[in-house]
Structure 1
Amino acid sequence: MNNQNLKRINTPIFPFTAIVGQEEMKLALELNVIDPKIGGVMIMGDRGTGKSTTIRAIADLLPEIEVIKDDPFNRHPTENINTTEKFETEYIKIPMVDLPLGATEDRVCGTIDIEKALTEGIKAFEPGLLAKANRGILYVDEVNLLDDHLVDILLDSAASGWNTVEREGISIRHPAQFVLVGSGNPEEGELRPQLLDRFGMHAEIRTVKDPNLRVKIVEERTLFDLDPYVWVDKYKDQQDSLKQKIIDAQNILDETEMPYEFRVKISKVCSELDVDGLRGDIVTNRAAKAYTAFQGNKNVLLEDIEKIIVLCLRHRLRKDPLESIDSGYKVKKVFEEIFEIV
């Protein structure tokens, strides 16, 4: 069976707009897709709450991207250094790469075949998961169980947009721009505060308690499993509408502005909460602008900041690794005081 047939018989992915509840997680993912420079999202919550389903669903929702055909790094034709050369291009779905828990550094970063490099005089590079994830989403389930060294590599690449592999004096560098999404269950241990701080946003998800809502979630999933094609068709208009809203937001993001007084107040909130460094200020500014653009506006309003500030700051308050993450009450309280919300 050829690849085309295989692609055709792939089961559809559960539609993003059909996911019930989990608004925090959905919003954080939408904003990171609008502006990947926000720095990714850490999703902490109970098992079986649809974390993986939601992340796959947002990747499936996004518009296809143009890439150089058969390029291992999914590069756009204009990205290639040798611009005089003409390339065949194709459109592909946004890459969604799952990082397995037992992944080694070589599997993540890629490897250089030293023997080939020395005998044949060519750089023989075998791309890793970071190459596959370029211009897409890299999802790490149970990121809190991943080796700290690997988490560091992922965060460095996500922040710089590049991955560098060095072996025996040979160095390869390739683009690795992706939205890093980590998820985990707090019962299995938290990430170290230094690593947690480097995730742009932090979404908390809880098991739905309302019996009616639970029944609705179970029914939706059952109907989808019975006939996924019919189910996907049912949500087509909603999916198309949200996709267009995200594209429109990406297009006006650069024109979105925030009043100086709001920027000062955001920094006051960070200072009052004793947030280390300036990452909290930067991410809150970016996320507020992305949310404003998502609403189809170009001027940040007070309610836009209110909507995202907890997601951007709650995970930056901890000083003691044994202390649990504040649910956002403290951030909300300080925000209301400084922005004088009665």
Structure 2
Amino acid sequence: MSRPVFPFAAIVGQDDMKLAMLVAAVDPGIGGVLVFGDRGTGKSTTVRALAALLPPMRVMQGCRYQCDPAAPDSWCADCRAAGKGKSITAPVPVVDMPLGATEDRVVGALDLERALTGTKVFEPGLLARANRGFLYIDEVNLLEDHLVDLLLDVAASGENVVEREGLSIRHPARFVLIGSGNPEEGELRPQLLDRFGLAVEVRTPADLPTRIDVVRRRDSFERDPVGFAEVWKKPRDKLRRRIIDARARLPDLVVSDTSLERAARLCMALGTDGLRGELTLIRAARAVASLDGDEAIGDSHLRRVAPMVLSHRLRRNPLDEAIASTRVTRAVEELFGA
């Protein structure tokens, strides 16, 4: 029996980070989550806790890429060749991508041991393991440029294409990209920054009761992981049901012209480039409304997600030294009222 992970429902504070993760779980197409802030604030704990919270997914039995039985158009070549086969349940994968990973380890490469016997076999990489799950990169702002370019290509297409050493492989690679880091150690390349749908800042709790609660819960978990997980089983199941219900409601949720206009006006006021800000703002607000059990997007949903959707999309303004999140909050208050 594997060791339980720290329960998502037991994480103290860090509400913006938790909301961003839940939004990405309800709508994985939103573009991933970037978490910047202090070390030791629960970033990696929250990612692993979310994956453990999600319901198991159906996969094609024996598939190395976790192909979705309900989406034959996205199947890998092996699943297409085999036709309709048996499906099984599997946990949602969380794959760590270390900073020192080679390109072969990320995209996959020829299996050298079998190649020595004269057989060319593709050994899947981290992108294959992360398909339909989460790819987690700590210190993402220190990632090497060639790996950044690779991730951008895969994120845009949803496929990983490997053509080398006589191999020509194409397999699905759709995942929620989760990046974390410390902004003091360097900035993220704008091209990659723009690919994250949501970005949040996390800080060390400043109030005494919260710090005590964090230490108490973590200590209880370390001393008895199984017992601690059992105590939080009902809150975990309730939160899991909330995600499942939100996913089911999402396609029918109403987005009025008024909400579309609100989103567009906010992005225009902030001077965001392109239309990705509006699109992501609407999708994130829709996911929050669905989590709340509402039937339509309202101003309250747009207000809650605006800072995490737009803060990392702002151009630097030499005439306004306010930090990005403050500029977004100010624009939201001017448009929606304080």
Q: Which amino acid aligns with 1:108?
A: V
Given candidates 235, 239, 242, the residue that maps to 1:242 is: 239
User: Distance in 2 between the 1:287 and 1:134 partners?
Assistant: 22
1:283 to 271, 280, 284: 280
Give a deviation string over 1:76-135, Cα, whole Å, max 9, x none: 234345387442332111001011110011111111469989x96x76211100000001
Aligned match of 1:4: none
Q: 1:331 aligns with which of 328, 331, 335?
A: 328
Query: CA separation of 1:182/1:226 partners in 2, compared to 1, >3 Å: closer, same or farther?
Result: same
Structure 1 contact 315–326 (Cα < 8 Å) conserved: no
Which residue number in structure 2 is paired with residue 26 of structure 1? 18
Structure 1 position 165, deviation (Å): 1.2
Question: Aligned to 2:80, what secondary structure does the other structure show?
Answer: coil
Report how many residues are paired: 331
Moved over 6 A (4+): 114-117
Query: Among 16, 26, 33, which residue is 1:41 paired with?
Result: 33
Report the CA distance shift for 1:70/1:266 in structure 2 as closer, same or farther (over 3 A). same
Correspondences of 1:92-131 after superposition (within 5 Å): 92-112=90-110, 124-131=121-128
Gaps of 5+ in 2: none
Instruction: Determine the structure 2 residue equivalent to 1:54.
Output: 46
Corresponding residue for 1:5?
none
Contact 1:39–1:159 (Cα < 8 Å) also in 2? no
In the superposition, the TM-score normalised over structure 1's length comes to 0.90
Residue 309 (str. 1) matches residue 326 (str. 2): no
Do 1:112 and 1:125's aligned partners in 2 also have CA atoms closer than 8 Å? yes
Q: Cα offset for 1:254?
A: 0.8
Residue equivalent to 2:221: 224
Q: Which moved more, 1:311-320 or 1:177-186?
A: 311-320
Which residue of structure 1 aligns with residue 190 of structure 2? 193
Aligned to 2:86: 88
Q: TM-score, normalised by structure 2?
A: 0.91
The 1:113/1:224 distance shift into structure 2, 3 A limit, reads closer
Write the distance in 2 (CA, Å) between the matches of 1:285 and 1:207: 30
The amino acid of 2:99's aligned partner reads L
1:134 is aligned to 131
Residue 251 to residue 266, structure 1, CA distance change in 2 (3 Å): same
Whether the aligned pair in 1 keeps the contact of 2:108 and 2:126 (CA below 8 Å) is yes
Question: Which letter maps to 1:249?
Answer: A
* RMSD, aligned CA: 2.4
Alignment of structure 1 residues 157-176 onto 2, 5 Å:
157-167=154-164, 170-176=167-173
Give distance in 2, aligned partners of 1:337 and 1:51: 32
Map of 2:153 onto structure 1: 156
Superposition deviation, residue 211 in structure 1: 1.3
> Structure 1: how far apart are the matches of 2:139 and 2:44?
11
Structure 1 equivalent of residue 68 of structure 2: 76
% same residue:
49
SS at 1:328's partner residue? helix
Show the counterpart of 1:183.
180
For residue 327 of structure 2, give the secondary structure of its aligned residue in structure 1: helix
Instruction: Give the secondary structure class of the aligned counterpart of 2:160.
Output: strand
Classify 1:86/1:276 alpha carbon distance in 2 versus 1 (closer, same or farther; 3 Å). closer
**Relative to 1, partners in 2 of residues 1:84 and 1:165: Cα closer, same or farther, differing over 3 Å?**
closer
| 8 Å Cα contact 2:314/2:324 also seen in 1 | no
Q: What's the secondary structure of 1:37's corresponding residue?
A: helix
